């Protein structure tokens, strides 16, 4: 019988059906880091989201066979340690392929149309005092005909490309930053930055991608360009983004993720209070429809593993 332990149930607001396998289900609304090792000690299957799982947490969990990550990103799990232990790790894929691109499009439109600057003007009474029927205090730009550069071309990147094409944007697919060769359907990373009106990040956080956006990269971008990050906060050097916005090196940015989440110790990006910076609290993925698809896929992964046909395997 499987002992399935969900160590942070409240991070996923969806219905988890019980797997069609013989099992005992144990769930904790949330777990602190120092509670994890004890709670997973007797587990055969662990469902996790953002809590770290590596040797310190798993050394005494001698029966664990599967870690089912309730997310796409796997940076919270020590995959190499799991390989050595023979622990299978699975993730969920494609569940937010509509939710994240729609969030990106919303952010792009809000910045291009100066949504928050106009809302502030109306709240300050400027429209009421206008001599004309409309208030034109900030630039307004269409997105049709503009160029979007997509960094990362997995399920979400592909969906982003389709959505951008549907609204009339020219799509550039970025080659990896340090690639020696450029694939036929890709554009060199530096050229994407130079040509794009919008650059949107959809790549995982790895040793290769960490801090991939710094001062040099912002220097390559157009002064009227936007940077959108709905992937991982550590893809961008915070100080470089702050400087790029304050010096108007780029026109604006929107981030749905920070280097530390939640940002209990603050973040340089939360201190800016600029109308051309939008920060949302890591919710791009979290439409009701996407979250339910995620929950269903977690259970699908567990059932497939127990049946002997693992899916979405990382180790």
Annotated catalytic residues are 232, 261, 282
> Smallest Cα–Cα separation from 70: which of 307, 299, 282?
299
- Could you tell me which residues are beta bridge partners of residue 241? none
Backbone angles phi, psi at 15, to 5 degrees: -90, 120
Report DSSP state, residue 46. E
Which residue carries 């981030």 as its tokens?
A: 255
Quick one: CA torsion of 181, 184, 188, 194, rounded to 10 degrees?
160
Strands 147-151, 170-173: pairing kind: parallel
User: What is the enclosing helix (H) or strand (E) of 255?
Assistant: strand 252-255
Report DSSP state, residue 20. S
CB 61 within 8 A of CB 38: no
């Amino acid at each position: 019988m499987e002992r399935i332990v969900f160590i942070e149930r409240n991070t996923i607001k969806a219905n988890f059906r019980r797997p069609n396998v013989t099992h005992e289900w144990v769930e904790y609304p949330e777990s602190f880091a120092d509670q994890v090792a004890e709670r997973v000690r007797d587990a055969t299957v662990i469902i996790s989201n953002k809590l770290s799982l590596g040797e310190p947490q798993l050394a005494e969990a001698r029966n664990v066979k599967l870690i089912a990550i309730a997310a796409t990103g796997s940076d919270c799990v020590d995959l190499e340690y799991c390989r050595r232990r023979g622990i299978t790790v699975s993730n969920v894929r494609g569940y937010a392929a509509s939710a994240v691109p729609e969030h990106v499009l919303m952010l792009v439109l809000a910045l291009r149309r100066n949504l928050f600057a106009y809302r502030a003007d109306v709240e300050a009474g400027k429209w009421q005092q206008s001599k004309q029927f409309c208030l034109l205090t900030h630039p307004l730009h269409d997105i049709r005909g503009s160029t979007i550069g997509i960094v990362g071309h997995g399920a979400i990147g592909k969906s982003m490309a389709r959505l951008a094409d549907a609204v009339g944007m020219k799509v550039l697919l970025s080659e990896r930053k340090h690639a020696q060769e450029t694939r036929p359907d890709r554009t060199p990373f530096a050229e994407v930055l130079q040509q794009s009106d919008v650059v949107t990040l959809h790549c995982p956080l790895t040793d290769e991608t960490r801090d991939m956006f710094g001062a040099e990269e912002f220097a390559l971008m157009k002064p009227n360009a936007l940077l959108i990050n709905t992937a991982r906060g550590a893809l961008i050097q915070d100080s470089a983004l702050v400087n790029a916005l304050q010096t108007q090196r780029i026109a604006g940015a929107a981030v749905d993720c920070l280097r530390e989440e939640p940002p209990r110790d603050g973040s340089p990006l939360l201190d800016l209070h600029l109308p051309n910076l939008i920060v949302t609290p890591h919710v791009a993925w979290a439409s009701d429809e996407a979250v339910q698809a995620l929950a269903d896929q977690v259970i699908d992964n567990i059932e497939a593993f127990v049946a002997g046909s693992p899916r979405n395997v990382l180790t």
